[in-house]
Structure 1
Amino acid sequence: MENERDRLLDAALAHVPFDGMNDAALNAAADELGISRAMVRVHFPQGGASLAAAYHRKGDAALREWFEKTPPEGRYGEKVAQAVWQRLALVQPDMVRAGATLLSLPQHAGLGARLIWETADTIWNGLGDSSRDVNWYSKRATLSAVYGSAVLYWLGDDSEDKAATRAFIDRRIEDVMSFEKIKAQARKVPGVAAMVDLATGWMRAPEPRDLPGKTSEDK
């Protein structure tokens, strides 16, 4: 089943430049591979939105492999910037643009936000983040905002070798690291750390759950 889905995904992506990120691309791929339309719905229940999600998650999977083979080096902020840039380098602008256009629709906005969060989670996990408290959420929320804005900047960047995008990422990450320093300094103020812990001490990172009926779309 998974192998069939992978073959269908690769074949459908070849049709996206001509048909768009939609059912037409999936159906054309299914016809080529001799896969029934019913199985298309099994593998991609939301049609084009599921196709866009599958392409996005394929990029996250490639990023995990990159972390294993080529761990980023330098200061922590530099490592984050390298990871964000590498994630963009693993995908094609036209494919991302087609997917982003679809996922920006109101009915798919939740899925789009989840995918960006998953990318941020992939980056932090790849960098060895061990936080399990409120910082687990704040790190991913902040990086999600950075990555989302970086994608939009990258899609409109016509500079040589996307140099402007790299500079944009560096600036955004520098802003984030400055904010983290301010947070650390604020906790040193008498009483602040206790108040923060009281308000957020109950928050814990979610534990992975292998639930019945879970599909590859949920992973």
Structure 2
Amino acid sequence: MTTDKTSPKDQLLQAALMHVPFDGWSQATFDAAIDDSGIERAVAQSICPRGAVDLAIAYHAQGDAAMLARMAETDMGAMKYSERVAAAVRFRLEAIEDKEVVRRGSALFALPMYAGDGAKAIWGTADAIWTALGDTSEDVNWYTKRATLSGVYSSTVLYWLGDTSEDHTETWAFLDRRIENVMQIEKLKAQVNNSPILSKLMAGPNWLLSHVKAPQKVPASNLPGRWTRP
């Protein structure tokens, strides 16, 4: 995946990055980006109606694109599946050149009015990883995989922001532990499904969940998923 380096939004973003560590993803940063890039204010406001917030989202998407590019050029054939997921998260963090830019973004998306945008961005990262790894789930697992990875990614980012170890070795160890926790949950789920007694107790919930489907490629509505009639 590539981005158009000559697009007005990209020019604004590149101009904004030098101001974000000092002024955050703020109106002051957006104004400075307009001045530095030479983009007409009317054009800037039309492509970024919410100013620096839209640039922060574009910055996150740019990081996802860099992660996907690195995944595409990396041979993961010899890795276990859990190792591939961990590698993808690591690639995503290593695509970041300035921690302070991410720290400022975390502060922005922690605000109630932008929390939804932050959650959507993180979900998008998790979805990009699973899709790149060839996930074919079409049931409730489509949601649980992305929700779980969103949690792993979010906690790892927070740990990484405070990590001062050489080459972020402590962060990668933390990431491995979180992935191991997820694998233990998957093993527990398998044990429940293989237990005659527990499987009977879960018959009702499992029946309900069996009717939850992943979003269609061409959604028929604005709903995130769909319900199939028995």
> Is TM-score (shorter-chain normalized) higher than 0.5?
yes
Aligned to 2:132: 126
Deviation of 1:93 after TM superposition, in Å, equals 1.0
Please give the alpha-carbon distance, in whole angstroms, between the structure 2 residues aligned to 1:210 and 1:182.
33
Aligned to 1:42: 46
Aligned to 2:224: none
Please give the alpha-carbon distance, in whole angstroms, between the structure 1 residues aligned to 2:95 and 2:64.
9
Deviation of 1:17 after TM superposition, in Å, equals 2.5
> Structure with the greater relative contact order (CA < 8 A, sep ≥ 6): 1 or 2?
1
For the pair 1:83 / 2:88, whether they are aligned, the reply is yes
For the pair 1:9 / 2:18, whether they are aligned, the reply is no
Provide closer, same or farther for how the CA distance between residues 39 and 16 of structure 1 changes in structure 2, counting only shifts above 3 A. same
The gaps in structure 1 that reach 5 residues or longer are 212-219
Equivalent of 1:184, from 186, 190, 209?
Answer: 190
- 3-state SS in 2 of match to 1:129: coil
The gaps in structure 2 that reach 5 residues or longer are 221-230
Deviation of 1:185 after TM superposition, in Å, equals 2.0
Q: Kindly report which structure 2 residues correspond to 1:110-189, keeping only aligned pairs within 5 A, or say none.
A: 110-189=116-195
Deviation of 1:194 after TM superposition, in Å, equals 4.4
Aligned length: 210
Q: Deviations over 1:110-143 (max 9, x none)?
A: 1111111111111111111111100000001111
Alignment identity in percent? 50
Structure with more helix by fraction: 1
Aligned to 2:72: 68
Please give the alpha-carbon distance, in whole angstroms, between the structure 1 residues aligned to 2:72 and 2:27.
35
- 3-state SS in 1 of match to 2:19: helix
Deviation of 1:46 after TM superposition, in Å, equals 1.8
Matched letter for residue 154 of structure 2? G
Deviation of 1:18 after TM superposition, in Å, equals 3.4
CA RMSD of aligned residues (A): 1.9
**Structure 1 contact 44–51 (Cα < 8 Å) conserved:** yes
- 3-state SS in 2 of match to 1:187: helix
- Give the alignment's TM-score, normalised by structure 1: 0.89
Matched letter for residue 35 of structure 1? I
Deviation of 1:15 after TM superposition, in Å, equals 2.3
- Give the alignment's TM-score, normalised by structure 2: 0.85
**Structure 1 contact 30–36 (Cα < 8 Å) conserved:** yes
Please give the alpha-carbon distance, in whole angstroms, between the structure 2 residues aligned to 1:95 and 1:70.
27
Matched letter for residue 53 of structure 1? I
Q: Deviations over 1:38-62 (max 9, x none)?
A: 2222222222221211111111111
Please give the alpha-carbon distance, in whole angstroms, between the structure 2 residues aligned to 1:127 and 1:104.
29
Deviation of 1:6 after TM superposition, in Å, equals 1.5
**Structure 1 contact 59–90 (Cα < 8 Å) conserved:** yes
